[in-house]
């Protein structure tokens, strides 16, 4: 089976252009087929606030009303996605920008209302891996933003970590996938203020231990849920850390195992 790298880059890196450009250097240098998935939550929050649209987050997920769908479409599908695609083109990496609606690549359903009404937030139902596979075959690097669609004309806001995870599971049928979550920390830290406290390997029992000790908190909670879901779904390797982990050097990062 061929190798495939799927790399998700988070909002804290995207927000600082210098950090984003450094990430793009390392991503563009990866050999072989690759897919980029980007967030941009912080930039969406900034624009919503400038426009006077209230921002509400619950459990790390954005409550997405009709006005917020407009904001995220402009920020994720427009500004951030096109900036990243242009940055990759400048590095001779032939990127093609996608939302899940483009080529029907990622379809989802509006999250059913239980205790909380998240609004126009999508839960992924499927991935059009056939089309993505064909694009990879002709040397295209897809760059996905955090938007999916319901097939009836509605765009849905979908967490970028989840998009990366679902793409990784969908493409694991035809590739040996390494799923990389790049963020501003060198991995899961025992002490979030100390970059030297990286947990190098987390298996399911270590995961339970870290959860019990409340070491895994905030944005890391849904991220690690996605990591283990991906491994159970057949993804070959899942790792978490700073963009340097893409270089295969001696950098510290976290590897997840079942
Ligand atoms: N134990 C921990 N190790 C590393 N990061 C942690 C830890 N606990 C909480 N975090 C926080 O989780 C955040 C990463 O989650 P998130 O903001 O969702 O990432 P992303 O930038 O990919 O969207 C980090 O910015 C960090 O502040
Ligand atoms: C439903 C939901 O919460 N979607 C996220 C999508 C962006 C994202 O995931 O961005 P980061 O990776 O930068 O956090 C949001 O709007 O914040």
Query: What is the tens place of the pLDDT at every residue in 108-129?
Result: 999 999 999 999 999 999 999 9
The answer, yes or no, to whether residue 63 has pLDDT greater than 80, is: yes
Task: Return the pLDDT at 154.
Answer: 98
- Indicate whether 195 belongs to any domain: no
* Total number of domains constituting the chain: 1
Task: Return the pLDDT at 252.
Answer: 94
Task: Return the pLDDT at 88.
Answer: 98
- Indicate whether 87 belongs to any domain: yes
For residue 223, the CA-to-ligand 1 centroid distance in Å is: 8
**What is the number of alpha carbons within 13 Å of residue 73 lying toward its C-beta?**
14
Task: Return the pLDDT at 125.
Answer: 97
- Indicate whether 123 belongs to any domain: yes
- Mutate which of 10, 38, 41 for ligand 2 pocket (most atoms within 8 A of beta carbon): 41
Average pLDDT for the chain: 96
Residue 173 to residues 130, 167, 168, 170: CA-CA distances in angstroms?
10, 11, 9, 6
Q: Which two tokens stand for residue 222?
A: 């849904």
Task: Return the pLDDT at 251.
Answer: 87
Give the other-Cβ count within 10 Å of 72's Cβ.
Answer: 26
- Indicate whether 227 belongs to any domain: no
Strand pairing partners for 5? 34, 178
- Do 163 and 124 contact (CB within 8 A), yes or no? yes
**Ligand 1 first shell, C-beta below 6 A:** 10-12, 39, 183-185, 188-189, 192, 215-220, 223
Question: What sign for the dihedral angle of Cα 23, 159, 143, 173?
Answer: positive
Tens of pLDDT, residues 139-168? 999 999 999 999 999 999 999 999 999 999
Which regions of 102-248 does DSSP assign to beta strands (E)? 106-110, 122-127, 141-144, 147-149, 155-157, 175-182, 201-202, 237-241
Range of the domain at 180: 2-187
Widest CA span in the chain? 50
Angstrom distance (rounded) from CA 43 to CA 46:
5
- Indicate whether 140 belongs to any domain: yes
For residue 80, the CA-to-ligand 2 centroid distance in Å is: 13
Instruction: State ipTM.
Output: 0.97
The band of 248, judged by pLDDT with boundaries at 50, 70 and 90, is confident
Residue 62 Cβ inside 6 Å of ligand 2? The answer reads: yes
Closest by Cα among 198, 177, 190, 208 to 244: 198
- Indicate whether 73 belongs to any domain: yes
- Indicate whether 133 belongs to any domain: yes
The band of 6, judged by pLDDT with boundaries at 50, 70 and 90, is very high
The answer, yes or no, to whether residue 217 has pLDDT greater than 90, is: no
- Indicate whether 246 belongs to any domain: no
Contacts of 169 (CB under 8 A, 6+ apart): 127, 229, 230, 233, 234, 235
Task: Return the pLDDT at 253.
Answer: 97
The CATH number of the domain holding residue 24 is: 3.40.1160.10
């Amino acid at each position: 089976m061929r190798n495939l790298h799927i790399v998700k880059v988070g909002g804290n890196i995207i927000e600082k252009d210098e950090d984003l450009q450094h990430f793009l250097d390392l991503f563009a240098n990866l050999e072989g087929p690759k897919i980029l998935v980007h967030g941009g939550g912080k930039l969406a929050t900034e624009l919503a606030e400038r426009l006077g649209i209230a921002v509400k987050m619950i459990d790390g997920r954005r409550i997405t009303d009709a006005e917020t769908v407009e904001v995220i479409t402009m920020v994720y599908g427009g500004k951030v996605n096109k900036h990243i695609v242009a940055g990759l083109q400048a590095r001779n990496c032939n990127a093609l920008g996608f939302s899940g609606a483009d080529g029907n690549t990622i379809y989802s359903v509006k999250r059913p209302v239980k205790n909380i009404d998240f609004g126009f937030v999508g839960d992924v139902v499927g991935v059009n891996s056939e089309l993505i596979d064909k694009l990879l075959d002709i040397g295209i690097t897809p760059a996905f933003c955090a938007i999916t669609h319901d097939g009836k004309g509605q765009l849905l806001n979908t967490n970028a970590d989840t998009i990366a995870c679902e793409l990784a599971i969908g493409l694991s049928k035809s590739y040996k996938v390494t799923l990389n979550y790049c963020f501003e920390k060198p991995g899961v830290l025992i002490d979030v203020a100390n970059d030297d406290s990286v947990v190098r390997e987390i298996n399911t029992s270590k995961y339970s231990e870290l959860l019990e000790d409340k070491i895994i908190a905030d944005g890391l909670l849904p991220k690690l849920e996605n990591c283990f879901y991906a491994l159970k779904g057949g993804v070959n390797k899942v790792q978490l850390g700073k963009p340097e982990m893409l270089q295969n050097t001696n950098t510290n990062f976290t590897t997840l195992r079942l």
